[in-house]
Amino acid sequence: MEGLSFSIGVLGNIISVLVFLSPISTFWRIVKHRSTEDFESLPYICTLLSSSMWTYYGLTKPGGLLVATVNGFGIIVEAIYVAIFLIFAPQKMRAKTTILVAILDVGFLAAAVVVTQVASHGDVRIAAIGFVCAGLNIVMYGSPLAAMTRVVTTKSVEYMPFFLSFFLFLNGGIWALYALLVQDYFLGVPNGIGFLLGTAQLLLYAIYRNGNPPQNMSDDGLEEGWQRQQLISSPDQIEEK
């Protein structure tokens, strides 16, 4: 059983890496144009926080190495994304991003680490960290709901990129299976929810794949609309991951 769970965990790591790397084309565009345009930094700031918390969880819990390693990779990737925003964003967006990073990725993370280290021990500490991580992951997996609603409204899947939906579906499923094998409910519940939501997204693709996008929405506008809704991560991102 340990060999099977390890193999599933390694596969989950590979899929999570693909999820973390999925926005590369967006950031290549930002660097190429030297502008963040209308893209939002919040999804990547939140994913950085999620990856940081899951890394902390993986390092704290015995046997959590696979969770820690892939989310450690996620920290590096998401930090690069956020740094690109800080370099190329206009002044107002740069100030907003800086404040959010200070509050979430520095302040909240530091407070969570200090509180769990000082106020809890052993299994209680692990449970407290896991509870926070699970909540962050549920938010991550629930973020595409607005995009799914738009797909139904417009009868077009242009608002919901297939490969992102597909990899989030795989990510949720594989980590839910891993969590079941190692009996980790904090990892299993949010990723089980992610698997169900990913399944719903793929069903929407099957139903509306031949739909036509609204005439007044350009391809760039569609991509930007999704980016405002998207919260990638981590497994849990493991979003990530």
| 68-95: pLDDT as tens digits | 999 999 999 999 999 999 999 999 999 9
DSSP collapsed to 3 states, the chain: CHHHHHHHHHHHHHHHHHHHHCCHHHHHHHHHHCCCCCCCCHHHHHHHHHHHHHHHHHHHCCCCHHHHHHHHHHHHHHHHHHHHHHHHCCHHHHHHHHHHHHHHHHHHHHHHHHHHHHHCCHHHHHHHHHHHHHHHHHHHHHCCHHHHHHHHHHCCHHHCCHHHHHHHHHHHHHHHHHHHHHCCHHHHHHHHHHHHHHHHHHHHHHHHCCCCCCCCCCHHHHHHHHHHHCCCCCCCCCCCC
The pLDDT of residue 10: 92
The pLDDT of residue 222: 44
* Res. 232: pLDDT tops 70: no
Q: In residues, how long is the chain?
A: 241
Domain ranges of the chain: 2-229
For residues 21, 201, 134, 56, the Cα torsion angle rounded to the nearest 10 degrees is: -10
Q: What percent of the chain has pLDDT over 70?
A: 85
Closest to 161 (Cα-Cα) out of 216, 205, 200:
205
| 143-159: pLDDT as tens digits | 677 778 888 888 887 76
Closest to 234 (Cα-Cα) out of 99, 102, 44:
44
pTM, two decimals, is 0.80
* Res. 223: pLDDT tops 70: no
List b or e across 90-129, with b for residues whose CB sees 16 or more CB atoms inside 10 angstroms. Answer: eeebbebbeebbeebbeebbeebeeebeeeeeeeebbebb
